[in-house]
Amino acid sequence: MTTDSDPTHFLDIDDVSRDELSAILERASEYKRAQQAGEDHADLDGQTLGMIFQKPSTRTRVSFETGMTQLGGHAVFLGEDDIQLGRGEPLKDTSRTLSRYVDAVMARVFKHENIEVLAEYADVPVVNGLTDDAHPCQTLADLLTIREHEGGFEGVSAAWIGDGNNVAQSFALGAALTDLDLTIATPDGYEVDEDVLERSRDLGGDPTVTTDPVEAATDADVIYTDVWISMGQEDERDVRMNDFEGFQVCSDLLDHAPDASVMHCLPAHRGEEITDDVIEGDRSIVFDQAENRLHAQKALLSWLLE
């Protein structure tokens, strides 16, 4: 489906303004309420989302596909081997072709430059479902979860503890857009990219960066972690397990933040970056966070396609 004007894409969280982000989160809350009340909200009736997956996923696939169904639309799963990408078709050709068929494209790929190419040649909105550099849809769910549990963002402090990976990088930008007080604790060599920190500062953020997880966690309202070994890094396992020693989110660490809620984007490697008792504990909001992928992405899609 071609359009007469340039589409709006969502490749990272700072592709939206503060006001736009606030509007998307408010819409997500409205959709969540409507779903819980059993109210119809088929705002994308008859529209189709094409979903490209180079990387497999539970939450991304199910939340987007279910979300489109609940909005009255349809989602088409396109694995790399199901379409011509797996046979060497240029991304720009795939993008231009899909634009003639669908109303939006969500892609979960490895290289961030691949999502940029898809967006450059698409005539419909392109959504980043994850790249090696960014995971903005996860950040939408994260911010929605914090907003629900903390009653907003003013005066809220968050600690990221672990790898300065794609989830951390988008979260740092989201924190800046919402004025979250963010401290990032990573081991040496695993920091958030400096250009991301600079973008965060340009947005008005002022993240504290440290290599001390206790410093980051102390008196935090939210403690957030992710796996130390992401997809494609399995051959680095022994090195990473050694480098991340002391960065586990465990009960001892939570003693320094007696009022903190705990977040994890899942899947979790229990016993590595987070202990089983913490993720199953009363302070865990991990599964609220997972659920909110659905509501946040519905809001994003309807905002992009309205």
Q: List binding-site positions.
A: 57-60, 84, 108, 135-138, 166, 226, 230-231, 265-266, 293
289: annotated active-site residue = no
240: annotated active-site residue = no
Could you give the residue ranges of the DSSP H alpha helices within the chain? 18-36, 59-70, 91-98, 112-121, 136-150, 166-178, 194-202, 213-217, 237-243, 251-254, 276-279, 286-305
The C-alpha angle with vertex 305 and arms to 304 and 306, in degrees rounded to 5, equals: 100
Annotated binding site for L-ornithine: 166, 226, 230-231
* Active-site annotation holder among 226, 240, 289, 295: 226
**Residue 191 in tokens:** 């920091």
Residue 117 CA, distance from chain mean position? 20
* Active-site annotation holder among 9, 27, 265, 297: 265
Q: How far apart are CA 162 and CA 166, in angstroms?
A: 12
* Active-site annotation holder among 47, 54, 70, 138: 138
Three-state DSSP class for residue 209:
strand
108: annotated active-site residue = yes
Beta strands 74-79 and 104-108 are unpaired
Annotated binding site for carbamoyl phosphate: 57-60, 84, 108, 135-138, 265-266, 293
201: annotated active-site residue = no
Q: Is the dihedral of CA 270, 272, 273, 274 positive or negative?
A: positive
45: annotated active-site residue = no
* Active-site annotation holder among 9, 27, 61, 135: 135
147: closest CA among 37, 261, 274? Answer: 261
293: annotated active-site residue = yes
Which residues does the annotation mark as catalytic?
108, 135, 138, 226, 265, 293
